[in-house]
Structure 1
């Protein structure tokens, strides 16, 4: 009697595509998304449609996360070079004939305006991880010089736009790949010394508004009703929250519209005023869990490529949170970096969702290899 192959039900056939999410990481993201929506509903009380728009952004981020989680790391390895090359080509196109908005040439019009620098937040560490994977058995100091050049190209093009916030994120994510690949502490110390010695040159290359941001950071009271207004009001909001906060939707700084960009870059100020020190500690704990789980996935990854890529994404999460909280607290210059998974905006959420999906892909395929 001929053997009749068993026909699997539709649900069993599609189940593997919907079990790609890493449980602990998904739970942490759910908590951050929830905190973000809760805060945004208060911060955006006078922005009609802002909450609904963010829910759509989160849905799009979720779809991107799901797609990325279904892409095997081997496919990501093959895509590294073309994605990086395409991203750099778009940055060059922006430099040549990009759209200027608010004094910055950051956008490219292709029917709609796109910001190619966002691609490089993932494309740059992807390329660097590919580079070190292909040279894993023959790494020497020249390899790190080439890696530094691969990082310097998109970093320089983004700084030129100018977009210091995005350049910082791209540079930070790329640097961590180079560091985790085995950059020696001596070389790192030399880089720090060289950076310190070149500060006068860097200062002379900054745009006027960038210098003003640094001077405002040092003394925001020098122009309390102008350039220092944002930082002063943000710090007041954070401090007025006290230990337990003023209560949900009871933050006076937000409701009296003293906090600038309160649904985007400065949403942490609204959160701090309403939930206080206790709420801040809870939020910091969520971010520590996010970074810790991401680093755990990276540490247990099966090869150098996935370890470096996973580690750089984990550190990208850290840079996002650290820079945002630092700038709204008055300890870092304002550079336009959103609070990850909480600030309103579609582009940043898609990038973060893509990074989260890549981490889930790394974890999923590690388990498949083990089984």
Structure 2
């Protein structure tokens, strides 16, 4: 009995040793907040709370294993993970589950996964591994090979169709190119070319994708159709006021006016019930995550570590910004969850995997 407290202390020290303390505290606060919001968004049901807890516990285990691993060891898994991700995307094309007109999921018996979420980590891993391998002999054609690596999963995800996730995957790949030293003249030239190609891209979009852009500009053009989501979410955000209506008291939420309120539009539920003050709290927590992640990126010891940590950090920022902007009506509606808050198993695992890699890179410096 006298040894029990000592053993518990040793076990606790072993568990927390590889974890980044400040980052874990911030993520814990966001997770607690997410359970509160999800409970309200799900009409006080516990089924999605239970599922989120299961996926979070699984994700924490994976994060801990990654955090205690050396970045070089994780890096060696990049090619097979990328290859598996591409194979899963091909499987979605042939055997995927269709929901609301989009084929994005694979049924695995006990659960359903979204392979495009895996590519948000697999692609930057592959690119960072590739540039680390050729760090001392990098040539211009290496960037062309990287562009092909980015184009393959993006083309498969765009086929589903899922333009929002395609853009996020492409962005994660671009962030790696940026951190490995893509010349500014190439970046600026790409921006000019992208701007010039907008008319062509516009004609290539599906009708529903063009409607989303037009709805962002004027949601009242089709208030009961394409503009319904964004109108209801803006009403919810505005009605929250400075302090919100209070937990479980959101009228837009509990009268079922907000669609997809546990996933893509959960920020509207949060804003209605907790108001501007609650939004500021959430933004501060996200900013703290980004600040800690940028500190880890700045201290990375290798090209792989810097590129991977930077891509994870900027991707996290893009996810949060796009979701909040989409719900607030300043960006088109795309299927992007709010990081660590929205309900979704594959997205939760992917986010915690990214945090585990960040901690691994940070531990390598120590």
TM value normalised by structure 2 = 0.93
Length, aligned pairs only: 360
Alignment match, 1:70: 68
Alignment match, 2:215: 216
1:118-137 equivalences in 2 (<5 Å): 118-137=117-136
Selected match of 1:23 from 1, 21, 24? 21
What is the Cα deviation at residue 13 of structure 1?
Answer: 8.0
1:182 counterpart SS class: coil
1:24-39 equivalences in 2 (<5 Å): 24-39=22-37
1:321-332 equivalences in 2 (<5 Å): 321-332=320-331
1:48–1:151: structure 2 CA closer, same or farther, 3 Å change rule? same
Deviations 1:139-180 (A, max 9, x none): 232222221221111111111111222212211111100011
Alignment match, 1:238: 237
Alignment match, 2:48: 50
Deviations 1:193-236 (A, max 9, x none): 11111112211221121111111111110111121111001001
Alignment match, 1:310: 309
1:254-269 equivalences in 2 (<5 Å): 254-269=253-268
What is the Cα deviation at residue 273 of structure 1?
Answer: 1.2
Structure 1 unaligned runs (5+)?
1-7
Aligned partners of 2:123 and 2:173 also within 8 Å = yes
Q: Does 2:332 correspond to 1:333? A: yes
Aligned partners of 1:88 and 1:154 also within 8 Å = yes
What is the Cα deviation at residue 62 of structure 1?
Answer: 1.4
- Measured in 2, the distance between the counterparts of 1:253 and 1:220 equals 18
1:67–1:100: structure 2 CA closer, same or farther, 3 Å change rule? same
Deviations 1:293-324 (A, max 9, x none): 11111110111101110111111111110110
1:260–1:99: structure 2 CA closer, same or farther, 3 Å change rule? closer
1:65-144 equivalences in 2 (<5 Å): 65-111=63-109, 113-144=112-143
What is the Cα deviation at residue 272 of structure 1?
Answer: 0.9
1:281–1:15: structure 2 CA closer, same or farther, 3 Å change rule? closer
Alignment match, 1:178: 177
Alignment match, 2:228: 229
Q: Does 2:325 correspond to 1:319? A: no
- Measured in 2, the distance between the counterparts of 1:185 and 1:292 equals 24
Aligned partners of 1:17 and 1:70 also within 8 Å = no
2:106 counterpart SS class: strand
Aligned partners of 1:125 and 1:174 also within 8 Å = yes
- Measured in 1, the distance between the counterparts of 2:257 and 2:96 equals 34
Q: Does 2:57 correspond to 1:59? A: yes
- Measured in 2, the distance between the counterparts of 1:84 and 1:312 equals 16
Structure 2 unaligned runs (5+)?
1-5
- Measured in 1, the distance between the counterparts of 2:46 and 2:291 equals 36
1:108 counterpart SS class: strand
Alignment match, 1:291: 290
- Measured in 1, the distance between the counterparts of 2:233 and 2:271 equals 10
Alignment match, 2:3: none
RMSD: 2.0
Alignment match, 1:3: none
